[in-house]
Chain A
């Protein structure tokens, strides 16, 4: 018995020692052949240079990677040693076993370096990212926009005719749960990373700009060819999703830095919100902490600037091929506010274009490039309205997103060499359970929720054929709930006065129900089921549905890690052609 215990103790010690070091890229990383990445080993203790050995497939790392790693005896703020090698690449596809040793510390990881076919299948890629897009958003948008009778939809969304081809696992490297930074980063680099990180592995140092970088889609396209690049979003253009196409930071909140990185990459078409981080500090409305004027800097590089719907229309006629369109200091208002209710910040920014107009301009401009293009279109506020459980706004956003997809489906009729991908970056815990019928008897709103046969069908109408219900606050509307929520007042009604703010923080830094909704007729207090530190409903861990059509769509199938999606796009575009 004593011997067994001793043996167990020894085994445990060995495992602990073996796991002490961390190697970036992490174990099971998939790396595009020829793509630059930062290689870092973090040892758990301070070690001497002579004790460190780093090999790749049994050979010194220096020999495989072409240069010697930098030895950092003590990292800043850390009582431990690291070795670091920036911007290396591996040209030959294959399996690479990396072993790092320092005294008793040892760590082994395996990388899969992949090449692509020699010839591209697709010339253009249009990547539609519905932020937070879950199955209920699709169902709700279809019911609202098209209607239903006798159990069959009265019409189809544009995305209904793009084949669903894969389920995507969205988890981060540090948690099953996830956010829009690490998820889009996985799509756009082929490497998974930690919550809040973009284009980097999250290392242990506090500096949010020194983490080991991996190449992103925009950089890969600039390195390998002359395709144009477009970003079209309804959020700030420096928000996590568009930032992941171009940027590198451990902290997505570094928006001023992300604008600088956007300027380094210079996507040809940039349309969205977020001008506050482009303006020098001295300009009222700026959110920069320096005097750099990125509006002027982009203009100096030949960009046509547009700040309103009208200016976007005239920029569309320009031949510069480069447009910077910023239509709000922050996020654009939702389509329900812009086109129907005129709430939110529409009074301050009355001339914002929508996702459809922006996508049209981007497609017209980008398709002029004979080398092809990569366009990322984000329905940003599907997520931004799902967090506060403003389901009506989230579904209108989904309809708008779908109309932008409609433009792409028209486009591919004349440009069949275009791959369309439609997906979400993560899901929300949202479900449609029936209807809310004001004409059901009694004062209590929960008794007006129609379930099973009592749900019947909603009575939205779209008489003008614009795809949106003419009126959002109809008498028999969708009953939609979140699986998770902070304390809030459930009103069972659309929020006609502006986006929903379910909870506010109290003096104990806990989120409590926002009392502004307390007196809405029928409102009931729901006690939350997530920590009191959560301000709104959170992302779900559920898989995302990915749809694809066009050349290269066969690269997506079954269950895929989010990082595998990058590889399928890289293959379609032949970003690492085999060399003979």
Chain B
């Protein structure tokens, strides 16, 4: 588990850096992670995390993707997908999530972004299976203490 204090400190540092030369600083503070870098081995009997993901556990990362339709318009968590989701697994009974999703937990409640728009998320990478006690949603990869903006 990442040290929450350390995480917050890093986030504060990032935020502070934002005031003077946001882009340049963040490129150094956070490592960018692509959807096709998440898993090393993909098989019917399960996936294994890539070495890059294992190495970045607890570190600050940025990821680009699309916000899947959330349960409600204002939420503090959402699902980041590689391509825009034409279906809403939260709302539709016969649709399912793709394998390579990342759950994003925000520092504060933010309004849903148009699903057609590419976004960039920054936050701390959490690796390993975790069940959300409120929704029962099982996730393998999460970006926590996160913020996002249009890419």
Chain A residues within 8 Å of B, Cβ to Cβ:
179-181, 196, 236, 239-240, 251-253, 255, 275-276, 279, 281-289, 295, 307-308, 326-330, 348-349, 388, 501-509, 511-512, 514-516, 535-536
A255, closest chain B residue (CB): B96
B148 at the interface (CB under 8 A from A): no
**Is there contact, CB below 8 Å, between A516 and B73?**
no
**Is there contact, CB below 8 Å, between B44 and A328?**
yes
The CB with the most chain A CB atoms within 10 A, among B42, B45, B114, B138, is that of B45
For window 85-137 of B, CB contacts with A under 8 Å fall at: 85-88, 91-99, 111-116, 129, 131, 136
* Across-interface contacts of A251 in B (CB, < 8 A): 93
CB distance from B51 to the nearest CB of A (A): 14
In the A-B complex, the 6 residue pairs with the closest CB atoms: A505-B69, A307-B44, A501-B86, A285-B47, A283-B46, A253-B93
17 interchain pairs, CB-CB under 8 A: A240-B94, A252-B93, A253-B94, A275-B44, A276-B99, A281-B129, A281-B131, A284-B48, A284-B129, A288-B138, A329-B99, A348-B42, A504-B115, A504-B116, A506-B114, A535-B95, A536-B87
* Across-interface contacts of B114 in A (CB, < 8 A): 506-507
B115, closest chain A residue (CB): A504
A507, closest chain B residue (CB): B112
A195, closest chain B residue (CB): B93
Other-chain residue from A180, A287, A501 in contact with B83 (beta carbon distance below 8 A)? A501
Known pairs A286-B129, A505-B85, A505-B88; list 11 more (Cβ under 8 Å): A239-B94, A251-B93, A253-B93, A284-B46, A289-B131, A348-B99, A504-B115, A504-B116, A506-B116, A507-B73, A535-B95
Other-chain residue from B45, B69, B111 in contact with A279 (beta carbon distance below 8 A)? B45
* Across-interface contacts of A502 in B (CB, < 8 A): 86
Q: Is the interface of B mostly helix, strand, loop or mixed?
A: loop
The CB with the most chain B CB atoms within 10 A, among A251, A504, A515, is that of A504
CB distance from B67 to the nearest CB of A (A): 9
* Across-interface contacts of B136 in A (CB, < 8 A): 289
**Is there contact, CB below 8 Å, between A196 and B93?**
yes
A275-B45, A507-B113 in contact; A535/B92 too (CB < 8 A)? yes
B17 at the interface (CB under 8 A from A): no
**Is there contact, CB below 8 Å, between A295 and B45?**
yes
**Is there contact, CB below 8 Å, between A284 and B47?**
yes
B43 at the interface (CB under 8 A from A): yes
A511, closest chain B residue (CB): B86
**Is there contact, CB below 8 Å, between A535 and B86?**
yes
**Is there contact, CB below 8 Å, between A535 and B94?**
no
**Is there contact, CB below 8 Å, between A326 and B86?**
no
B69, closest chain A residue (CB): A505
Q: How far is the CA of A279 from the CA of B47 in the complex (A)?
A: 11
* Across-interface contacts of B56 in A (CB, < 8 A): none
For window 3-21 of B, CB contacts with A under 8 Å fall at: none
A326, closest chain B residue (CB): B44
* Across-interface contacts of B49 in A (CB, < 8 A): 284
B44, closest chain A residue (CB): A307
Other-chain residue from B86, B93, B140 in contact with A284 (beta carbon distance below 8 A)? B140
A240-B94, A348-B42 in contact; A285/B99 too (CB < 8 A)? yes
**Is there contact, CB below 8 Å, between B43 and A307?**
yes
B96, closest chain A residue (CB): A330
**Is there contact, CB below 8 Å, between A330 and B44?**
no
Q: How far is the CA of A575 from the CA of B116 in the complex (A)?
A: 54
A240-B94, A276-B99, A501-B83 in contact; A287/B48 too (CB < 8 A)? no
Q: How far is the CA of A329 from the CA of B39 in the complex (A)?
A: 14
**Is there contact, CB below 8 Å, between B93 and A514?**
no
Q: How far is the CA of A349 from the CA of B46 in the complex (A)?
A: 12
Q: How far is the CA of A327 from the CA of B43 in the complex (A)?
A: 9
**Is there contact, CB below 8 Å, between A504 and B85?**
yes
* Across-interface contacts of A288 in B (CB, < 8 A): 138
B84, closest chain A residue (CB): A504
A329-B44, A503-B86 in contact; A287/B129 too (CB < 8 A)? no
Other-chain residue from B43, B69, B83, B93 in contact with A509 (beta carbon distance below 8 A)? B69
**Is there contact, CB below 8 Å, between B86 and A504?**
yes
Q: How far is the CA of A275 from the CA of B42 in the complex (A)?
A: 12
B98, closest chain A residue (CB): A330
CB distance from B81 to the nearest CB of A (A): 10
* Across-interface contacts of A504 in B (CB, < 8 A): 66, 84-86, 115-116
CB distance from B145 to the nearest CB of A (A): 22
* Across-interface contacts of A515 in B (CB, < 8 A): 116
* Across-interface contacts of A276 in B (CB, < 8 A): 99
**Is there contact, CB below 8 Å, between A289 and B138?**
yes
Q: How far is the CA of A251 from the CA of B87 in the complex (A)?
A: 18
Other-chain residue from A286, A330, A514 in contact with B86 (beta carbon distance below 8 A)? A514
* Across-interface contacts of B98 in A (CB, < 8 A): 330
* Across-interface contacts of A252 in B (CB, < 8 A): 93-94
* Across-interface contacts of B85 in A (CB, < 8 A): 504-505
B68, closest chain A residue (CB): A505
CB distance from B132 to the nearest CB of A (A): 11
The CB with the most chain B CB atoms within 10 A, among A253, A505, A511, is that of A505
A327-B44, A329-B44, A506-B115 in contact; A282/B69 too (CB < 8 A)? no
**Is there contact, CB below 8 Å, between B46 and A286?**
yes
**Is there contact, CB below 8 Å, between B129 and A514?**
no
* Across-interface contacts of A295 in B (CB, < 8 A): 45
* Across-interface contacts of A511 in B (CB, < 8 A): 86
B36, closest chain A residue (CB): A347
* Across-interface contacts of B43 in A (CB, < 8 A): 307
* Across-interface contacts of B99 in A (CB, < 8 A): 276, 285, 329-330, 348
The CB with the most chain B CB atoms within 10 A, among A240, A283, A502, is that of A283
CB distance from A504 to the nearest CB of B (A): 4
Q: How far is the CA of A511 from the CA of B98 in the complex (A)?
A: 19
CB distance from A350 to the nearest CB of B (A): 10
